[in-house]
Amino acid sequence: MWYQPWYLLVLFYLATLCFVALYGFHRYILVYLYIKHRHNTYQPKGRFAELPRVTVQLPMFNEDVVAERIIRATCHLDYPLDRLEIQVLDDSTDHSADIARRDCEEWAAKGWPIRFIHRENRVGYKAGALEAGLKQATGEFIVIFDADFIPPRDLLQNLIHYFTDPKVGMVQVRWDHLNRDASLLTRTQAIFLDAHFVIEHTARNRSGRFMHFNGTAGVWRRTTIADAGGWQHDTLTEDLDLSYRAQMKGWQFVYLPQYAAPAELPPEIISFKQQAHRWTKGGFQTAIKLLPGILRSRHLPFRIKAEAFFHLTNTVVYPLMAIVTVLMYPIFFFADSPMKHAPWSQHIFSATLFILATCSASTFFVFGQRELLGRVAGWKALLYVPFLMALGVGMSLNNAKAVLEAIWGAIKRKPSEFVRTQKYAVTGQKRAALRAQRVFTFSRLSVPILEVAHGCYMACCIWISLYWGFGVASVPFLVIFASGYFYVGLNSIYILWRMQQEAEEAVAQAPEIAST
């Protein structure tokens, strides 16, 4: 009967699969909104007769390899020096602070209005640094660049006049990628992010739905930040949090994909996973914090509430994908399962793999490449679809952990540590730490080991499927899944081992520094 444990498990499995499919379908709605509204471009309502005063904030933490580059690029911005202020907000705990301080002193000696602000603690992490800098800022508008960005010289001149409209509270530009073609991993990340900036941001912003500031490469009206409650650090995505609070106050955001600021992509898997973990966890923290108020709001239209729901909760797909993957074997292959001998079970099995694979890749990402780089690039992006699928599935456990941590942190009211993404200055080489550190630990290895175990699990499903002739047409998808888990898991273990070796070698070469 339907209430027996196996039937309940099958119903749970099908319900979970439907939820994953729903979020996948939402991507196609974004594509539709993009096509419908892509010609609704923004134009400045006027031009400032006298350029307003602007403060550029450069938040940093142990950014030794990129600090000099971002400071130099910021000082080269085309903006009157008497209307410009540059703040280097450095929370570094290593020699990076000396590098940034020296560069600031050199540029200040040449006449640039640049200040080095160093905090002795990291209270609030990046949000705390931005808030502390804001208390000393003199600008009417606040520009933010992360340390790995290189702002184009004319960016401020192109953006500032959009604020002649008093309703505009923030202007965001598209991210470009300095090391797009460095490896298969960076090319895949670029495709992921291009779809976000080309399709998602454009669709949301130009259709009148809420979008968000991406933490960098954007300009804020200072009064907007204050009116929305300022920078808050109870989530790891202070940018997403402030964006929604500002738009709920009625401020208008402007997204300008025709302008771009290039930055580097994480060239190795550990940095990529750390970044994805922080974004995923912070996004769900923001959903827990703000979504109830958004849904209860009486002045927000349904289209904004619906998009906010999918936008803020889309990371829940990762634990759902993990659940579906784990249940795949018992649901379809256990002897007692009602799906084992059902004539239509092979179709459900194939649909499972199709939904899990195509809802996170395919049309959405390929279309983003076509719109950004042209029709030929769109077709070439099809070659990357198998790896897009594999990487998306392989990252599901890492990101599922982030969602669960966000939920557990909300229950326990426990703050989260902000783990910065390692910068490499595009060269692919980072400076080895001079302190002994245990990298190759069980806590760091637990998720990679689980990812490898999932790869083995999917390999078993491939063997069973071929041996029993069950859902043979879906074996290519199983191969992609297994490859994704193996790639992410084994690559993570290798990178952690290499990091441990580099740390030990650095200590051996400079023991007197390491002991201080």
Angle between helix 317-333 and helix 396-412 axes, rounded to 10 deg:
120
Q: What per-residue confidence (pLDDT) applies to 516?
A: 43
Give the amino acid at 332: F
Pick the catalytic residue: 146, 148, 194, 239? 239
Pick the catalytic residue: 90, 91, 148, 241? 91
* Predicted confidence (pLDDT) at residue 101 exceeds the cutoff of 80: yes
Question: Tens of pLDDT along 256-265?
Answer: 999 999 999 9
Q: Lowest mean pLDDT: which of 19-33, 201-215, 330-344, 463-477? A: 330-344
* Predicted confidence (pLDDT) at residue 477 exceeds the cutoff of 90: no
Q: Lowest mean pLDDT: which of 98-112, 235-249, 383-397? A: 383-397
Question: Which pTM value belongs to this model?
Answer: 0.91
Question: Tens of pLDDT along 41-55?
Answer: 999 999 999 999 999
Cα-flanking dihedrals φ and ψ of residue 362, to 5°?
65, -120
Q: What per-residue confidence (pLDDT) applies to 18?
A: 83
By percentage, how much of the chain surpasses pLDDT 90? 65
Tell which wins on pLDDT, 419 or 470: 470
* Predicted confidence (pLDDT) at residue 10 exceeds the cutoff of 70: yes
Q: What per-residue confidence (pLDDT) applies to 232?
A: 96
Q: What per-residue confidence (pLDDT) applies to 111?
A: 96
Q: What per-residue confidence (pLDDT) applies to 375?
A: 76
Q: What per-residue confidence (pLDDT) applies to 311?
A: 97
Question: Tens of pLDDT along 157-177?
Answer: 999 999 999 999 999 999 999
Alpha helices in 184-316 (DSSP H): 184-195, 201-206, 222-227, 238-248, 269-296, 302-313
Question: How much is the average pLDDT of 459-485?
Answer: 85
Residue 361 CA to residue 502 CA, distance in Å, equals: 35
Is-catalytic flag, 91? yes
In what order do the strands lie in the sheet containing 141-144?
114-118, 84-90, 54-60, 141-144, 218-221, 168-177, 252-263
Q: Does residue 133 sit in helix, strand or coil?
A: helix
Contacts of 182 (CB under 8 A, 6+ apart): 265, 267, 426, 428
Q: What per-residue confidence (pLDDT) applies to 510?
A: 63
Q: pLDDT category, 345, cuts 50, 70, 90? A: low
Q: 244-250, long-range: CB within 8 Å, 24+ apart, which pairs?
A: 244/210, 244/212, 244/286, 244/290, 244/294, 244/308, 244/312, 245/290, 246/169, 246/170, 247/210, 248/290, 248/293, 248/294, 248/297, 248/300, 249/224, 250/167
Q: What per-residue confidence (pLDDT) applies to 436?
A: 45
Residue 418 CA to residue 436 CA, distance in Å, equals: 21
Percentages of the chain per state (helix, strand, coil), in multiples of 5: 60, 10, 30
Q: pLDDT category, 433, cuts 50, 70, 90? A: very low
Q: What per-residue confidence (pLDDT) applies to 406?
A: 95
Cα-flanking dihedrals φ and ψ of residue 11, to 5°?
-65, -40
> Is the CB of residue 224 less than 8 Å from the CB of residue 398?
no
Residue 233 CA to residue 416 CA, distance in Å, equals: 9
Residue 345 CA to residue 278 CA, distance in Å, equals: 38
* Predicted confidence (pLDDT) at residue 341 exceeds the cutoff of 70: no
Is-catalytic flag, 98? no
* Predicted confidence (pLDDT) at residue 325 exceeds the cutoff of 60: yes
* Predicted confidence (pLDDT) at residue 415 exceeds the cutoff of 90: no
Four-residue CA torsion sign, 478, 480, 481, 482: positive
Tell which wins on pLDDT, 164 or 471: 164
* Predicted confidence (pLDDT) at residue 356 exceeds the cutoff of 80: no
Question: Tens of pLDDT along 112-154?
Answer: 999 999 998 889 999 999 999 999 999 999 999 999 999 999 9
Q: pLDDT category, 379, cuts 50, 70, 90? A: confident
177: which strand partners?
263
Q: How far is CA 49 from the centre of its chain?
A: 38
> Is the CB of residue 28 less than 8 Å from the CB of residue 364?
yes
> Is the CB of residue 244 less than 8 Å from the CB of residue 297?
no
Which of left, alpha, beta for 483 (phi over 0: left; psi -120 to 50: alpha)?
Answer: alpha
Q: How far is CA 5 from the centre of its chain?
A: 39
Residue 447 CA to residue 490 CA, distance in Å, equals: 11
